Amino acid sequence: MTITRRTALKGLSLSAGGALLSPILEQIRAHAAGSAKRPPRFVFVVEGNGLPWNQITPVGINRDQKSTSLVDESLAERELPSALKPIEHYKDRLTVVNGLSGRVAGGGHSNDFGALGVHNCGSDVGSSGTPQGETIDVALGKRLGGIFTHVGLGISDRPEHNVIYNCSAWDKSKPLPTICQPMSAYGNLFGSVAGGSSKAEFNAKTNLLDFLLDDVKKLHREVPTAERDKLEAHLAGYEEMRHRQSRLNEIENTLREQAPVVNDKFQSEVETDRLDAHFDIAAAALIGGLTNSVTLASGVGNPFFSVKFTGLGIDFGKHGIGHGGSYNGMSWDEMAIKIRGFHFELIARLMKKLEAVPEGDGTMLDNTVIVYLSDAAEGHHSRCWEWPFVVLAGKHSGIQGGRYVEYPYYGNDGHREIGNLYTTLLAAAGEHRDYFGVRDAMLKGKARGDGPLPELLA
Amino acid sequence: MFGFLLLCFSPTSALAEDFGTTVRPFLNKYCLDCHGPNDPEANLALDGLAGDLSRQDQQKTWQKVFEQLELAQMPPEDAEQPTDTDRSRVLSWIRTNAAHAGVAMESKLDRPGFGNYVKHELLFGDSSVPPSYSPPRLWRIRPAVYHDTIHNVAKGDYTDPFTLKSAGHGFRDYANQYQLAGPDLNQLLTNARKVAGQLAELLIEDGKAQRGSRTPEQIFVLIKPGNPEPSTEEFDAAVDWLFHHVLLRDPTGDERQKLIDFTRQSMKSDGQLLGVRNLVMAVLLSPDALYRSERGAGEPDEYGRVPLAPRELAYAIAYALTDVRPDQELLKAADTGGLATREQVKRQVERILNNSKIEKPRILGFFREYFEYGQAEDVFKDPELFRSHAASVLVRDTDHLVLHIYEQDKDVLRELLTTQKSFIEYELRNGKPVKGHGGRMGDGRSYLSYNLPLDWKWTEKQPITLPGSQRAGILTQPAWLVAKSGNFDNHAIRRGLWIRTKLLGGTIPDLPITVDAQLPTDPALTLRERMKVTRETYCWQCHSKMNPLGLSFEMYDHFGRWRTRELKEPVLSEGSIDQSGDTSLDGQVDNALELVHRLADSERVRQVFVRHAFRYWMGRNETLADAATLRRADRDYVESGGSMKALITSLLTSDSFLYRK
């Protein structure tokens, strides 16, 4: 059953209704209105190859993995594990969540779209499968609106990949791209004000889009009904671009100020550089008001996950690391923690940039939630009995910071699923649902529950 | 599917009242025992379904019912089964009513990997069948064709705006698989801008206007200073040039006028240069340049079918065999009535097939996507365990073997499944054989994957013959064995799945989401022993169709090396063929060699191969309406002594290829 993307987009542009202004304008408006409350924006950082719980659990917490009771305590007196050291400064915003399950996603090297979609997308070695519904990052993007509903950036194990489809989806069978080349992402997001291109070029593009729209519409009238869907997607694509042209026009000055500075990292052969550049682009896109939902996917999905982090001196694929391999005197977990630490360094830098931009009564960081997870749940060959998360929640985001929360193990009373966590994020964005994604039919009674996780709501 | 079964059942009679007389009784009889009001299976209750597809709260449920019935997965095998006619009656009712309600039922049967759900016996039986056809369609061009089009007019590297997705076990380039949407269009626009920059490039040297090296005179006239309002003739010439180079045809009067109006207006508002660049981009991005149209033209015949338009046919033939647009001869034939008869089409297809100067990557592409041995390069292997492993070398060697068998063109499928020949570390450079290597992969001794002695010396006299006690055909080539292996083990399930679906034409449902699909990891046990967990009744329903086939390949290790021992004990390689649909095939086998030889003798296996060739060259799954095409293709293959060229020619001159309805 398909509702065309076009219809969906129409709905979206109506609901977005020009509500989105750049943070700077927003700030002026908020001041004028005497209130600063706005729903938070979201950044998902997804790292491939699994996240063993002990790599993010504070030192000294001895988990009973099959626990039967809820743990909910302050992180203030706890020492962070080495992978999380880079975000020490933001410890009061950090919440570590253990014990959620995500069995419906199926498990394996990656759960692909299932990790953010809470469903089984039928992926396998060599294929990311087909999304069976929208993913949480996109659901939030739709809720929050934006010139770009969602921005997907990331790296793949093959440097030549430009765009891959691996973890985000608009709807069933409608995967959204992860752009792997920083230059390409830069062009997409900041092309209207990119160096050298004039206002005239921007206008010429608008004129061209109008012509192309006409061209496709003409064909649309001529083809048999069954083929119209294809052209509707094509039309919707142009309409979206056309709409975006108008919106970009409105915020041209902000964009000029906020566009990231293109440097060598943007075209580097080295994956750490490209990831770094993507974080720069993400920060600029958020600050420039281009989007409210970004996913940064680092080696996510079949068959893109075996990235070599040569920039960290690890000329050895993550797949090999996942299989317990060693390289150059480093054991698998030393390498995994080093790579994870690098991701948190990038996260810390992103937070710092957001913190520097005033918004409402505080800063942009206060209205931002960063969620870190692995598409492969708890391990290299994930089985999703549990799915560890790191949440960095802005002060005004409606999500709790500074906590260590651990839910009872799969099947025990009080157990909860990743769908509950995503329901919580939606609630923070002002959208109330019973549940996000597909429920685990094997969980019965008090081992399952509807709605958000009260422990995480501020 | 079930197209002709439905002829007796007019869709217009599918009104709401049919729900009461047809659909509700069907649900009551076959579904409600398990999917009734009390604790329904899979939490799916069907008792409350009303006969109204416009009810949004029930659309998802109807989609599920539709899917299960269409794939004949429900009712379960051990329950009473409805007749094909009853089943298709309900399916048709759902489809029609959904269409009335403005929603489309998604048919899995159209997706890559689901072709086998059409019953083999109905396709190849003795029943009389109506003439075949394809639905009219728009087909997004392939990435390779896109690049060819661009490089015909411009230089430089262009980021791929779209890809062919790997589709698991299906073929990749299906007509219904791809749309052009948001991000693709962005990239297309970026590329078009780069091309336009070359085709409309103005250089000022010593104060004099010059045209860029790729800029044709016809476009230069429009952009050079001092000609702010070019004449209609000058515009005509530029539009013609673009059409001839990008779309390989003349513009229609209407197309010409629209483009000129647009360019004039854009030049006025965006400036002379950008206006002309917009003209270039408008042609590069026209639907004609991005889709291949297969709508058909002309008067319908007595079956309501129209033939492809001559130009459509020329493109269809070119894209079936090559990654480039039709050559001059094909276009000329199209424009001068030279593709009007089946015999004329056949001559063109044979001309291209027999001309060795025309590159035909689509041929090797078929075998690669069919056998899937290219996936060997995606399987991570620990170099510590076997330093000589070099997946890229193995894959290339199997490529050469496939092409060798294709060139012999005799009993092709049997040869593919049983040959003892092999290429080893073989590469052609400028047409000359040289010793191949795997770049940074392996230690340069990948011949060890084939159990050749350590002191084996490379020779250019290839293929060489390997012992018949060790190898027989593609499925025993290290490339295929590695492609169907895990990181540390053979993957008997994936091997069995491939044989079940690609040779026996069987189906295996998706892994249920409630299954925890993991084998125990005890290193003291053989794979065969560890796979005993799949013997549980619930698992065995599906695994019985895969494991006994795949386990016969235990005579190889997971690097593809032939072996006699496993964990210090003699290796067990027996297996069996069961539930194949061809009783002469069923029974025990001692090992993979016996298995592949038996399969190679089977009529059913040959026909399943033909079905797969059909899918690749038609870009869609077969339906019952294609029975005539498939039977003819099978006959042509057999009567030509197993010629792949004859099979391809048969498909490309079939009604399914030539007609639209």
Q: What is the pLDDT of residues A153-164, one digit of tens each?
A: 999 988 877 778
Does residue B573 carry a pLDDT above 50? yes
Three-state secondary-structure class, residue B433: strand
Last residue of a domain, one of B569, B600, B631: B600
Task: Decide if pLDDT at A193 tops 50.
Answer: yes
Average pLDDT on B621-649 reads: 97
Q: How confident is the model at residue A285 (pLDDT cuts 50, 70, 90)?
A: very high
Give the side-chain half-sphere CA count within 13 A for B567: 11
Pair B56, B115 in one domain: no
Instruction: Count CA atoms closer than 13 A to A54's CA, side-chain side.
Output: 8
The percent of residues in chain B predicted with pLDDT above 70, rounded, is 95
Where are the domains positioned within chain A?
Answer: 5-188+258-456
Cα separations (Å) of B459 from B288, B433, B463?
49, 9, 9
| B119, B238: one domain | no
Alpha carbons B123 and B456: distance in angstroms, whole number? 49
Phi-psi region of B517 (alpha: psi -120 to 50; beta: other; left: phi over 0): beta
Interchain CB distance below 8 Å, B487 and A104: no
- Residue B217 is predicted with a pLDDT of 97
Together in a domain, B26 and B54: yes
Chain A residues lying within 8 Å of B513, measured CB to CB: 103-104, 106, 120, 438
Instruction: Work out the average pLDDT over B401-426.
Output: 98
Report CA Rg, chain A.
22
Same domain, B447 and B544: yes
Q: What is the pLDDT of residue A24?
A: 46
- B419 and B533 belong to one structural domain: yes
Give pLDDT, residue A320: 87
Query: What is the distance between the alpha carbons of residues A319 and B380, in angstroms, rounded to a whole number?
Result: 7
Convert the pLDDT of each residue in A218-276 to its tens digit: 999 988 777 888 888 899 889 988 988 888 878 888 888 888 888 899 989 899 999 99
- What mean pLDDT is predicted for residues B381-386? 84
What percent of chain A is predicted at pLDDT more than 70? 90
Residues A249, A444: Cα–Cα separation, whole Å? 53
Same domain, B46 and B164: no
Predicted local distance difference test score (pLDDT) of residue B427: 94
A–B interface: beta-carbon pairs under 8 A: 162
How does residue B436 score in pLDDT terms, banded at 50, 70 and 90?
A: confident
**The pLDDT of residue B8:** 35
Taking only residues 319 to 358 of chain A, the set having a beta carbon closer than 8 angstroms to any beta carbon of chain B reads: 319-320, 323, 325
| Confidence band for A125, pLDDT divided at 50, 70 and 90 | low
462-491 of B, contacting A, C-beta below 8 A: 487-488
Q: Which residues of B touch A200 (CB under 8 A)?
A: 270-271, 274
**Average pLDDT of B388-409?**
97
Tokens 């492809």 sit at which residue?
B308
Contact criterion met (CB < 8 Å) for A230 and B179: yes
d(CA A344, CA A338): 10
How much is the average pLDDT of B320-337? 97
Which tokens in the block code for residue B260? 């000129």
Helix, strand, or coil (residue B485): strand
> What's the confidence (pLDDT) of residue A37?
67
A297 against B437, higher pLDDT: A297
Question: Cα(B43)–Cα(A55) distance, rounded to whole angstroms?
Answer: 38
Which residue of A122, A234, A237 is in closest CB contact with B510?
A: A122
Q: How far apart are alpha carbons A424 and A30 in whole angstroms?
A: 25
B187 in the same domain as B78: no
Kindly state the average pLDDT of the residues A414-436: 96
CA distance A455 to A406: 10
- pLDDT over 70 (residue B421): yes
Q: What is the 3-state secondary structure (H, E, C) of B114-142?
A: CHHHCCHHHHHCCCCCCCCCECCEEEECC
Mean pLDDT for chain A overall: 87
Q: How far is CA A267 from the centre of its chain?
A: 22
pLDDT at A17 (0 to 100): 31
If we measure between CA atoms, which residue out of A276, A298, A346 comes closest to residue A50?
Answer: A298
Give the lowest-confidence range in A82-86, B28-32, B449-453. Answer: B28-32
The most confident of A317-321, B49-53, B179-183, B489-493, by mean pLDDT? B489-493
SS3 B382: coil
Average pLDDT over residues B473-502: 95
Element holding B529 (H helix, E strand): helix B527-530
Helical ranges in A42-90 per DSSP H:
none
Pair type for strands A403-406 and A94-98:
parallel
| Dist CA B397 CA A37 (whole Å) | 64
- A22-31, A36-45, A208-217, range with greatest mean pLDDT: A208-217
Q: How far is CA B660 from its chain centroid?
A: 20
Tens digits of residue pLDDT in B510-530: 776 566 667 887 888 999 999
The verdict on B449 and B593 lying in the same domain is yes
Domain A5-188+258-456 annotated CATH 3.40.720: yes
Indicate whether B326 and B256 sit together in one domain: no
The mean pLDDT value for B580-602 works out to 96
pLDDT at A126: 66
At residue A94 the predicted structure's pLDDT band, cuts being 50, 70 and 90, is: very high
Number of separate domains in chain B: 4
Query: Which contacts of A412-416 are long-range, i.e. CB under 8 A and separated by 24 or more positions?
Result: A412/A66, A412/A67, A412/A68, A412/A447, A413/A68, A413/A445, A413/A446, A413/A447, A414/A68, A414/A69, A414/A70, A414/A446, A414/A447, A415/A99, A415/A101, A415/A443, A415/A447, A415/A448, A416/A99, A416/A100, A416/A101, A416/A448, A416/A449, A416/A453
- pLDDT score recorded for residue A199: 65
Two tokens, residue B369: 């996507």
Please provide residue A432's backbone torsions phi and psi, each rounded to the nearest 5 degrees: -105, 115
Q: What is the pLDDT of residues A321-350, one digit of tens each?
A: 988 888 989 999 999 999 999 999 999 999
Answer for the pair A340, A11: CB distance below 8 angstroms, yes or no.
Answer: no
Identify residue B474 by its one-letter amino acid code: I
pLDDT tier for residue B49 given thresholds of 50, 70 and 90:
confident
The tens digit of pLDDT for each residue in A1-14 reads 333 333 333 333 33
Which of B164, B179, B280, B384 is most worth mutating to test chain A (most A CB atoms within 10 A of its CB)?
A: B179
B526 with B637, same domain? no
Percent of chain B residues past pLDDT 90, beyond the cut: 67
Residues B554 and B456 in one domain: yes
Provide the chain B residues 226-285 that lie in CB contact (below 8 A) with chain A. 262, 265-266, 269-271, 274-275, 277-278, 281-282, 285
**A16 has a pLDDT exceeding 60:** no
**pLDDT, position A324:** 85
Does residue B233 carry a pLDDT above 80? yes
Q: Is the Cβ pair A317, B60 closer than 8 Å?
A: no
CB atoms within 10 A of CB B49: 18
Question: Residue B13: pLDDT above 50?
Answer: no
What ipTM does the predicted assembly reach? 0.84
Name the least confident of A47-51, A72-76, A447-451, B42-46: B42-46
Taking residues B270-279, report their average pLDDT: 95
Task: Please check whether residues B377 and B511 belong to one and the same domain.
Answer: yes
Model pLDDT for residues B290-326, shown as the tens digit of each residue = 999 999 999 999 999 999 999 999 999 999 999 999 9
| Domain residue limits at B608 | 109-134+295-359+603-661
Residue B489: Cβ within 10 Å count: 14
Across the interface, whether the CB atoms of A184 and B159 are under 8 A apart is answered: yes
Cis peptide before B135 (omega within 30 of 0): no
